[in-house]
Structure 1
């Protein structure tokens, strides 16, 4: 399913996106700010990952801005019984600071609550990633807690902040 507003487009990830995805994953700033993979990643490994994307509990989108791919948005751990899912977003450095992340997360929220009829969305952020924390808080996500020493990066452990947004809280936002 394609999601879009007047500035961004979320579409299926295609093999042609492998180079940009590899650049994103191999960006030390991105790798340092998020968790979930080890880098560096080769182009062939990235193409293999794209070929095996089918997964009932995860939806992955290529983010397009001004007709070029600038990142990836992921809805993971989709649990239809409990009506929950986790969200995350990764942008190329050149795409940051332009309001793209806010637009993308708003599209994901709308899709999750209106199309999937989920009740609760979560996001997990490394504590030191102030930009990401600001994004989720601006969009109405509340801090549920701190997962202490959850991530090991660059020779030390880091806390993760757990956020959530309930469907009824979202509609109170008047978005």
Structure 2
């Protein structure tokens, strides 16, 4: 059973299932792929290398997550999982703190969960590609909304081009001094 098949009209049962799903290797390996994400990530990896995966899945199911990524053809990169002792209600905070800590080695993230943005510090300088027709009220961060995986790819290409333009501008300024 995957989340879309669960009867969410029963909140207590839904919460129990969600907790189980975050801890179950079997459920993890059966998650459906978001259509187009595998091909988009493959193309993105050619523009800006994917350096890893940051997930709310627990460390205890890291190997199942790795198998899922391999099965669907995602780049073979490290997986950072939520420590098993992190309370589920604090997962987004942990994820945001980890993402902020990884900057500048990790210059950005693609995620479909806007909640993480609420926990990112004002000082976060990375770029957040918010997938899935979602929005954020934070204007102090570099958040790029993306409606589809094709849109994510296009916006990553535009982002990379702007980085190269800025670098070229800095080089020209430096050469003229």
State the TM-score, normalizing by the size of structure 2. 0.29
Q: Greater helix share, 1 or 2?
A: 2
Q: Which has the larger radius of gyration?
A: 2
- What TM-score do you get using the length of structure 1 for normalisation? 0.29
Q: Could you say which structure has the higher strand fraction?
A: 1
